[in-house]
């Protein structure tokens, strides 16, 4: 069912270009998170302006087989607003840091969205019928003059144009002193965790005034602070296990059965640093920016500045696979430090079968690595190369040496065009790429030809 990357990289087509068409964008339009739901039917994006846009995949049409599966806007709403903490004289950004969908349990969809401080649970529901024939109200909603009511009628539900309603069901506020960087829904579908720089809290989805602190790495004396939490995720199947990554490049697997406060890890995944690569910036580039469990739950995928690594939960002393994303930047770390690019937090993603991993890079390039064949490909998400139905051409970055035609040299990379957020459909070969203010959705051509 799922095609290997060989087909993926050569025949990947643009499914639909859901781009905000303006070339001049405001900072508020920059997409800050992308997430498919568990079925892949819905795709949510959050931006720096605090808005969430949900796309829905159109059902396949038998008449036009090539139009199947396009994602169209389903709903847009303002999730978070800028706030001001008067006590600390701090502005709280409305940027959506993460969105996570809850597994669907009824007709409505639920998602969690978070900014730096507050997590919100949103209910997304459809309304396609409305009641008509009230006794006391007329069609416009005004109260009827009772003297005109001579008989009783039973209101009936009549079809109406589909309306998508979004409402905030829970607001989980005041749980964090530091900036929230991750949220993760537990497989028990009742709890979720939120992680900030120094603490991780466990919440119940139904209770907003209380949360449990399960990890606290804040030292008694802040002068001794050496690392912060950068990402956290629950295990996809075991509701007692979760992992969190640190700025020092280590991963800790914790078991909530062991104790209420999981400061002591069950497993520590850490690779010793290569002394040959030591530089001023070694600590920065070893900081893990994202961690994802594989769908199987057996592996962990991490991303640091230059590499992405696959870890086996059963082996703690080193990753089982390391992929160089853009090693040609290693000699340019100083300039990247100056222009702040070295602090960019790239995300990573698994495909549905855990055979291919994907992550973003600069110049609107993104990379995919096939774990089985060890082949990799670099593709570009750009308006020019992504006309609908166009096939993406693999790109190459030339770091000196023989330069082929169409190669991009390292010095001509555009570091303002970075792909930090990517998502892979849970089952099919459909990927969503956020490039600044544009969202690109690519699909495997072979996949679409099968229909």
Partner 1 sequence: MEYKVEAHRIMSISLGKIYNSRVQRGGIKLHKNLLVSLVLRSARQVYLSDYYGGACLGSQRAEAGEWAEGETMESLEGRSSPGAAGADSCESETESRETLRAPETNAQASVEVAAERNAEEPASSSDYNWPQGGETDEERAPGQAEDSTQVPSCPVPESRFECGAANADEGPQSPAAAAPCCTRKRSAGKSPYAGSPVKRPRPGSVPPANTEGGDASEDMDTGNVSSLITIFGSSFSGLLSKDGAQAEPGAADGDSGSGTICCEQMLPNLSPWSTAIVAF
Quick one: 246 or 422, whose CB is closer to partner 1?
246
Q: Are 268 and 315 in contact (CB under 8 A)?
A: no
Query: In the set 198, 262, 377, 392, which binds partner 1 (CB under 8 A)?
Result: 198
Q: Does 88 bind partner 1 (CB under 8 A)?
A: yes
Closest residue by Cα to residue 423 from 446, 451, 442: 442
Stretch that binds partner 1, among 3-11, 225-233, 402-410, 443-451 (CB under 8 A): 225-233
For residue 285, what is the enclosing H or E element?
A: helix 282-286
Q: What angle do CA 371, 375, 380 make, to 5 degrees?
A: 110
197 scored as a contact of partner 1 (CB under 8 A)? yes
Concatenated DSSP letters of 372-407: TT--EEEEE--TTT--TTPBPPP--EE-SSS--TTP
Per CB under 8 A, 337 contacts partner 1: yes
Among 24, 63, 89, 151, binds partner 1 (CB under 8 A): 89
Q: State the nearest-atom distance from the C-beta of 280 to partner 1, in Å.
A: 5
CB 44 within 8 A of CB 101: yes
**Cβ-based nearer residue to partner 1, 217 or 398:** 217
Nearest CB to partner 1, comparing residues 248 and 267: 248
Cβ neighbours, 10 Å, residue 393: 12
Is 406 a binding residue for partner 1 by CB under 8 A? The answer is no
3-state class of 69 per DSSP? coil
- 166: which 2 tokens? 């979004």
Closer residue to partner 1 in complex, CB, 167/226: 226
Query: Is 340 among the residues that bind partner 1 (CB under 8 A)?
Result: yes
Q: Is 233 exposed, middle or buried (0-12, 13-18, 19+ CB in 10 A)?
A: buried
Residue tagged 């690594």 (tokens): 309
Residues 284-323, one symbol each (x = binds partner 1 by CB under 8 A, - = not), give x--x------------------------------------
Judged by CB under 8 A, the residue of 216, 270, 283, 312 near partner 1 is 283
Contact region with partner 1 (CB under 8 A), list: 11-19, 82-90, 265-273, 366-374: 82-90
Least distance to partner 1, CB of residue 222, Å: 4
Maximum Cα–Cα distance across the chain: 92
Number of neighbouring beta carbons within 10 Å of residue 343: 12
Task: Quickly tell me which residue has 């679409």 as its tokens.
Answer: 448
Among 51, 57, 80, 95, binds partner 1 (CB under 8 A): 95
| Segment interacting with partner 1, rule: CB under 8 A, options 92-100, 163-171, 392-400, 404-412 | 92-100
Cβ(290)–Cβ(247) below 8 Å = no
By the rule CB under 8 A, 281 interacts with partner 1: yes
CB 16 within 8 A of CB 392: no
Distance CA 332, CA 432 (A): 29
Of 61, 55, 74, the residue nearest 16 (C-alpha): 55
Taking a C-beta distance cutoff of 8 angstroms, is the pair 321, 308 a contact? no
* Between 43 and 198, CB nearer to partner 1: 198
How far is residue 37's CA from residue 122's CA, in Å, rounded to a whole number? 14
Q: What tokens does 374 get?
A: 């060890």
What binding mask, one character per residue, do residues 107-136 give for partner 1 by CB under 8 A, x or -? ---------x--------------------
| Contacting range for partner 1; rule: CB under 8 A; set: 178-186, 249-257, 266-274, 404-412 | 178-186
Closer to partner 1 by CB, 194 or 230: give it.
Answer: 230
| CB nearer to partner 1: pick between 37 and 287 | 287
Which residue from 73, 90, 162, 391 is in contact with partner 1, where contact means CB under 8 A? 90
Query: Where does this chain bind partner 1 (CB under 8 A)?
Result: 85, 87-93, 95, 116, 177-179, 181, 197-198, 221-228, 230, 247, 280-281, 283-284, 287, 334, 337-338, 340, 343
């Amino acid at each position: 069912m799922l095609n290997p990357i060989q087909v993926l990289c050569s025949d990947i087509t643009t499914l639909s270009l859901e781009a905000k068409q303006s070339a001049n964008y405001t900072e508020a339009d920059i997409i800050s998170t992308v997430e498919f739901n568990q079925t892949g039917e819905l795709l949510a994006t959050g931006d720096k302006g605090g808005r969430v846009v949900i796309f829905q995949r159109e059902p396949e049409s038998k008449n036009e087989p090539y139009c199947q599966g396009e994602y169209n806007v389903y709903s847009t709403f303002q999730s978070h607003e800028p706030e001001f903490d008067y006590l600390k004289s701090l502005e709280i950004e409305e940027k959506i840091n993460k969105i996570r969908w809850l597994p669907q349990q009824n007709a409505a969809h639920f998602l969690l969205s978070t900014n730096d401080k507050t997590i919100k649970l949103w209910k997304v529901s459809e309304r396609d019928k409305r009641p008509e024939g009230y006794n006391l109200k007329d069609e416009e909603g005004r109260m009827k003059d009772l003297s005109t009511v001579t008989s009783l009628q039973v209101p009936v539900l009549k079809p109406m144009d589909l309306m998508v309603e979004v409402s905030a069901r829970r607001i989980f506020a005041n749980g964090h002193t530091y900036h929230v960087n991750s949220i993760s829904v537990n497989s028990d579908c009742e709890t979720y965790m939120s992680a900030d720089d120094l603490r991780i809290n466990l919440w119940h989805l139904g209770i907003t005034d209380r949360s449990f602190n399960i990890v606290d790495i804040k030292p008694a004396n802040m002068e001794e602070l050496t690392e912060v939490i950068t990402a956290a995720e629950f295990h996809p199947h075991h509701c007692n296990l979760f992992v969190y990554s640190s700025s020092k490049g280590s991963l800790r697997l914790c078991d909530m059965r062991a104790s209420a406060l999981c400061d002591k890890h069950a497993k520590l995944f850490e690779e010793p640093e290569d002394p040959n690569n030591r530089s001023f910036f070694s600590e920065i580039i070893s900081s893990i920016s994202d961690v994802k469990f594989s769908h199987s739950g057996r592996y962990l995928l991490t991303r640091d500045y230059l590499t992405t690594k696959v870890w086996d939960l059963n082996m703690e002393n080193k990753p089982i696979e390391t992929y160089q994303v853009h090693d040609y930047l290693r000699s340019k770390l100083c300039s990247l430090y100056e222009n702040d690019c070295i602090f960019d937090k790239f995300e990573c993603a698994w495909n549905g079968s855990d055979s291919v991993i994907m992550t973003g890079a600069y110049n609107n390039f993104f990379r995919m690595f096939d774990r089985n064949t060890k082949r990799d490909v670099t593709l570009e998400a750009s308006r020019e190369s992504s006309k609908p139905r166009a096939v993406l051409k693999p790109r190459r970055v030339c770091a000196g040496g023989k330069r082929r035609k169409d190669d991009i040299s390292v010095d001509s990379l555009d570091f303002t065009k970075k792909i930090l957020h990517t998502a892979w459909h849970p089952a099919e070969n459909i990927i969503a790429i956020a490039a600044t203010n544009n969202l690109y959705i690519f699909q495997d051509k072979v996949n679409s030809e099968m229909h």
